[in-house]
Amino acid sequence: MNVVRLGVIGIGNMGSEHCRTILAGKVAGLRITAVADRREDRRRWAEEAFAKSAAVFSEGEELIDSGLCDAVLIATPHYQHPTLAIKAFSKGLDVLSEKPIGVYTKEVRREIEAAQKSGRTFALMFNQRTNCVYRKLREIIESGELGIVKRVNWTITDWYRTQRYYDSGTWRATWAGEGGGALINQCPHQLDLLWWLFGMPTKIRAFCHIGKWHKIEVEDDVTAYMEFPSGATGVFITSTADLPGVNRLEVTFDRGRIICDGSSLELWRIPVSEREFCFTSEDAFGVVEKTHEKIETDGENPQHLGVLRAFALHILTGAPLIAEGAEGINSLMISNAMYLSSWEGKDVSLPIDEDEFLKLLDEKRAHSAIKTGKDVTYKTDHSFGGQILPEDKA
């Protein structure tokens, strides 16, 4: 095999962008031979864009059964990711899935098991792992040159969305259609980087505010506290209502502090171990000299293109993937834990009680607007910054 015949399932915003990238010849070894989408306007776009060089289907299952593909790229709404992946593996196809891997970890375990049994390639579109600043930060952490990580603070609020964004599709920002809000839609990349850089937390206490700033039934404002096995602690904050927002990752080490804004790394270094200095200094208010530097990287940041190229090369030559499919359960476990902690109003240990999470998610899905056919009405509480609060419709 010198070319992978690829089927793209879901040609909305991301799926169509991947198609354009491959059509432009930017990914050696990938050729699109089929696409699928339930929307007629998107199928018409595909017929024109591919000029009959790719078959067009209305259902992903039809594409998988067609025999026209060696691999599939899944870019559909979240709940369909595991179902389509499992079907593809059963037909001996390789799979590249958009984030997230799924909505709840219990089903994702079935997806990972299906991949392992099939022996096929399973990859995820965690393109932020290709960013040179995060790769360099991981290298520094693993080198141990700054000592242990003591604290992690990540504020990622540059996800601003207006009400029109949420109103653009009935499935958006619903428990039954999307499976959540900012955590499941906007933040999977940061949650993936969180465990990829610092390891999995062992305990989480989260506050997920439902429709705090928008007319939606899911969260648009989250603050979570985390504890890690090493003793490090962390805070993760996200929102789709901060304007201007910020992407600021601050990591405190034993020998310094790094601040990352997604495009640069700045280091404040101290010449001694803080732990050693704490117990040896004779000064009750002891301070040490610190130096400041901007950390150099290789400047490479191929993003989605890098993931697509790695996927093709892995199938054709065995080269490493950017993100193995089985790793996707880790970021999902973190977001599931944040939801569960907020719903139950208590600390949650990881791994979570997956049956309890699914039970509570199912309750929310059963009452979701797209399931009941009822609209959610809202009132404005001007006593707290004019936030929009959900109110049950009579």
* 3-state DSSP of 211-250: CCCCCCCCEEEEEEEEECCCCCEEEEEEECCCCCCCEEEE
Helix residue ranges per DSSP H, the chain = 13-23, 40-50, 60-65, 80-90, 105-118, 132-143, 163-167, 182-185, 188-198, 274-280, 303-317, 328-344, 354-366, 369-372
Could you tell me the two tokens for 15?
A: 């799926």
Q: What are the structure tokens assigned to 170, written together?
A: 């009935």
Q: How far apart are CA 9 and CA 385, in angstroms?
A: 42
Q: How would you write the pLDDT of the chain (394 residues) with one tens digit per residue?
A: 799 999 999 999 999 999 999 999 999 999 999 999 999 999 999 999 999 999 999 999 999 999 999 999 999 999 999 999 999 999 999 999 999 999 999 999 999 999 999 999 999 999 999 999 999 999 999 999 999 999 999 999 999 999 999 999 888 999 999 999 999 999 999 999 999 999 999 999 999 999 999 999 999 999 999 999 999 999 999 999 999 999 999 999 999 999 999 999 999 999 999 999 999 999 999 999 999 999 999 999 999 999 999 999 999 999 999 999 999 999 999 999 999 999 999 999 999 999 999 999 999 999 998 877 766 554 444 334 444 454 433 2
All structural domains of the chain, each given as residue ranges with its CATH number in brackets, are: 4-127+303-323 (3.40.50.720), 128-299+324-394 (3.30.360.10)
Query: Looking at residue 371, what is its pLDDT?
Result: 76
Burial of residue 259, with CB atoms counted within 10 A of its CB: 0-12 exposed, 13-18 middle, 19 or more buried: middle
CB 1 within 8 A of CB 313: no
pLDDT at site 372: 79
Find, among 74, 60, 85, 81, the residue nearest to 14 by Cα.
74
From the number of C-beta atoms within 10 Å of its C-beta (0-12, 13-18, 19+), residue 393 rates as exposed
The predicted structure's pLDDT at residue 79: 97
The sign of the dihedral angle between the CA atoms of 311, 69, 186, 226 is negative
CA angle 368–372–377, rounded 5-degree value: 70
The whole model's pTM is what?
Answer: 0.94
Alpha-carbon Rg for the chain in angstroms: 23
Bridge partner residues of 379 (DSSP): 389
